[in-house]
Structure 1
Amino acid sequence: MRQVFRLISSEYQKLKRTFTKRAAFLAPIVTMLLCALLGAGTFFQSGSFNWWYTMLLPGMLSLICAGIVQKDKKKLNYRGIMSLAIEPRRIWLGKVGACILLYGISCVVFFIGVTIGGHIFGSFFTLAQSGTASLLLFVTFLWQIPFCMLIADRLGSFAAIFINLVGNILGVIFAAKSIYWWIPFAIPTRLMCPVIHVLPNGLTVPANDPLLSFSVIVSGVLITLVLFIVLSVLTALPYRRLEAK
């Protein structure tokens, strides 16, 4: 366990004074500033949340994942870490952990900012709603970390950002449809409907709409958590080939 924490800390330190690290702080702040400048008023919180999980969060997460992967790949194609007496798959999982750490920091910054902004512009959500929504978004986006990292490793940063953004756009399109279970990208947006009563397009969910049912939350969380674990393990396997180089 200590080795895992050391690896995560090492990966985090590599990002010192990089845009990847700054993006984790800037993305939530930019999201809220845009909503404030556009005069969201009492809809500041709902607008910030909607912009966050449909656009800014996926983009930020892609940048973080690509930045962490490319940090070592650009340096002599991983030769700098192959000399370490550590299994390459553990290094990969350390990178996943570093992404989670930065992602978690970003989510905390967003939660604090949207809560303060709610009091400034007139609260629309309760603290419980904001907290629950932020936690669910954190959990249901986790699987995209190993997914984006693998694409960045194999195809490059641009491909990782582009593919993940396209996937999340499709998620917004299908979030309110019955087939959303088959599109993991759609689950976070779908879960926001009963929690903060916001549709994928940013409008308020009508009263008595089936989308307000909380029955989807447990299933959505379980699906995305299982997907995160499976992808984390599977994407670490190809990394073992570095030992043979």
Structure 2
Amino acid sequence: MLQTYLKAENLKFKRSLFRKLLIFIPAALILISMIFIFIGIGLGGFSSSIVGNWCMPIASLSIMFLCHLVNNKDQKHKYRTLYSLPIDLKKIFISKTILIALNLLIISLLLSFITVISECILSGVSVAMGHSGYYLVGYCLLWLSLLWQIPFCLFLDQKAGFVGSVIISLFASASGGLFFSLTPLFWFFPYSWTARFMVTFFGVLPNGLLVEADSRYILNVGESSLLVLISLLAMLVLSALFSRWYGKQVYRK
């Protein structure tokens, strides 16, 4: 039954900006990284600049923008297409979350592919192919650490509006990446999880410098596994919490 809801949500965005962002976001990251390297900010190299810009703050902004587009599709009709139909609003919310998560996964896979291509050009094909699996796993783990933001941003966009949500996301992402990700407090500040995974799997610090191989900032296998579990648990809890909130909206109309 949930598959039907997901197909219905997906059909809403045929030939829309929502789909085009799958290309626009990676293209924007490539352009930003090239500019950063040109002006001397991308100190760790092109691939490091891409992952650094993705983690702080473009990933959070992308989620916020995707959530706004999903919400705006129904807001334009004042939710009459939802609240007047005999459908389960909880499943609608979950299908929206899954749809955004799948689009975010595609963007992450494209970024891993771009990273491999850039390494082929800069370091050679053999070196790039040897690290391709590592890049793929790394971007997938970054994706996992971002999933909790989707249900939260769907809720935040409706409560604070698009501009307010963007400001909150920018501030929280910057705070998490720059101030909490390299401290023990990162466990309690979800916006810092992605930056800590970036340090661990890509060896890039929030300031763009490369981390030393034996740095205390690199999580071990146990800590990384725990952070993955916490990220998944946060996503499930927030999805259940906000889908229940969304399901009650029909009674307020």
Distance 2:176 2:63 in 1: 16
**Distance verdict in 2 for CA 1:118–1:218, change over 3 Å:** same
Q: 3-state DSSP class of the match of 1:211?
A: coil
Contact 2:43 2:209 in 1 (8 A): no
Tell me which of 199, 202, 206 is aligned to 1:196.
202
Tell me which of 18, 27, 30 is aligned to 1:29.
27
Q: 3-state DSSP class of the match of 1:156?
A: helix
Contact 2:43 2:208 in 1 (8 A): no
Q: Kindly indicate whether residue 8 of structure 2 is the aligned counterpart of residue 10 of structure 1.
A: yes
Distance 2:32 2:121 in 1: 15
Deviation, 1:213, is 3.4
Q: Kindly indicate whether residue 21 of structure 2 is the aligned counterpart of residue 20 of structure 1.
A: no
Deviation, 1:44, is 1.3
In structure 2, the residue matched to 1:146 is: 151
Flag structure 2 segments of 5+ consecutive residues without an equivalent.
none
In structure 2, the residue matched to 1:97 is: 98
Tell me which of 164, 167, 175 is aligned to 1:170.
175
Q: Kindly indicate whether residue 185 of structure 2 is the aligned counterpart of residue 187 of structure 1.
A: no
In structure 2, the residue matched to 1:240 is: 247
Distance 2:49 2:134 in 1: 14
Distance 2:195 2:168 in 1: 18
Distance 1:208 1:137 in 2: 21
Instruction: Give TM-score, length-normalised by structure 2.
Output: 0.88
Tell me which of 51, 63, 67 is aligned to 1:49.
51
Flag structure 1 segments of 5+ consecutive residues without an equivalent.
none
| CA deviation profile, 1:153-199 (whole Å, cap 9, x unmatched) | 22222222221221111111210011111101101111222211111
In structure 2, the residue matched to 1:74 is: 76
**Distance verdict in 2 for CA 1:231–1:44, change over 3 Å:** same
The one-letter code sitting in structure 2 at the alignment partner of 1:26 is F
Q: Kindly indicate whether residue 113 of structure 2 is the aligned counterpart of residue 106 of structure 1.
A: no
Is 125-134 or 83-92 further displaced after alignment?
A: 125-134
Deviation, 1:95, is 0.9
The one-letter code sitting in structure 1 at the alignment partner of 2:233 is V
Deviation, 1:114, is 1.7
Instruction: Give TM-score, length-normalised by structure 1.
Output: 0.91
Q: 3-state DSSP class of the match of 1:201?
A: coil
Tell me which of 63, 66, 77 is aligned to 2:65.
63
Distance 2:20 2:211 in 1: 34
Distance 1:144 1:95 in 2: 13
Distance 1:41 1:117 in 2: 15
Is 137-146 or 53-62 further displaced after alignment?
A: 53-62
C-alpha RMSD of matched pairs (Å): 1.9
Deviation, 1:101, is 1.7
Distance 1:131 1:165 in 2: 26
Distance 1:188 1:53 in 2: 6
Runs of 4+ in 1 over 4 A off after TM superposition: 39-42
